[in-house]
Amino acid sequence: MTAALRLTDLTVSYYDRRPAVHHVSAEIPAGEMTAIVGPNGAGKSTLLKALLGLAPRVEGRIECTAKRIAYLPQQAEIDRSFPISVLDTVLLGRWSRFGAFGAARPVDLDDARRAIEEVGLSGLERRPIDTLSVGQFQRVLFARLLLQDADLVLLDEPFAAIDSRTVSDLMVVIRRWRDEKRTVVAVLHDFDQVRRDFPYALLLACELVDAGPTSRVLSPENLLRARALAESRDEPAGTCDVPLRLSA
């Protein structure tokens, strides 16, 4: 199976802390849905930021075959106080094409309205985003991703604090991306959902515990090991645990 991402001995750290991700080597398959899972503080979001070049200190190697990457951050990282409408927020997905001083073309407007319809928000195009519920705003962000037309989609906790109907509707979008042979990588916490919807998984606990088919990765033995590693990191220590290097 072709790899969309290949990580080799990847270590990611912040300037005043020990590594958040330590010596990870793994492959993420192209055109598939892969979940990144692990205990709190396991380095899941940090790994996504490293893939985007947003982490302060990265060692090792990241190989990526995608030409275009789209990224959905956690909602807590987004300032919704800026006075902007649903339509204009979605159009930001085309920012790279028309830039700060360009104008959206008719085709961009048509695509934005179609994306808004696909995520179930028709009629709300002119609503300010600060008047939306958490679930509605997440739909807006998914519509913006649709306009980016990316080969690789990175999602950081896309279903946090949203209702089950919104989760179901957004999973339709994610499955459509998979059907279009796009690669989706999502940080998730709900193991039942991962087992149900994501064929592949990467289990982190600072180190890589396992990566590959979800049925194997989320085995009781692997989950116990991830928990033990996370608990050991919570204890006072001078260095990170001895690295476990496994390839997908």
pLDDT in tens, 111-156: 999 999 999 999 999 999 999 999 999 999 999 999 999 999 999 9
Is the pLDDT at 66 greater than 80? The verdict is yes
Q: How does strand 200-205 pair with strand 207-213?
A: antiparallel
C-alpha dihedral, 230 to 155 to 21 to 210, nearest 10°:
70
- On the question of pLDDT at 242 being above 60, the answer is no
Output the pLDDT for position 98: 65
Order of all β-strands in the sheet with 69-72: 69-72, 152-156, 183-187, 33-37, 200-205, 207-213
Q: Does the pLDDT of residue 60 top 60, yes or no?
A: yes
Per-residue pLDDT tens for 190-222? 999 999 999 999 999 999 999 999 999 999 999
How many other C-beta atoms can be found within 10 angstroms of the C-beta atom of residue 205? 27
Beta strands of the chain (E only): which ranges? 3-13, 21-29, 33-37, 57-64, 69-72, 152-156, 183-187, 200-205, 207-213
Mean per-residue pLDDT over the chain, rounded: 91
Q: Can you give the pLDDT at residue 116?
A: 98
200-205/183-187 β-pairing: unpaired
* pTM of the predicted protein model: 0.90
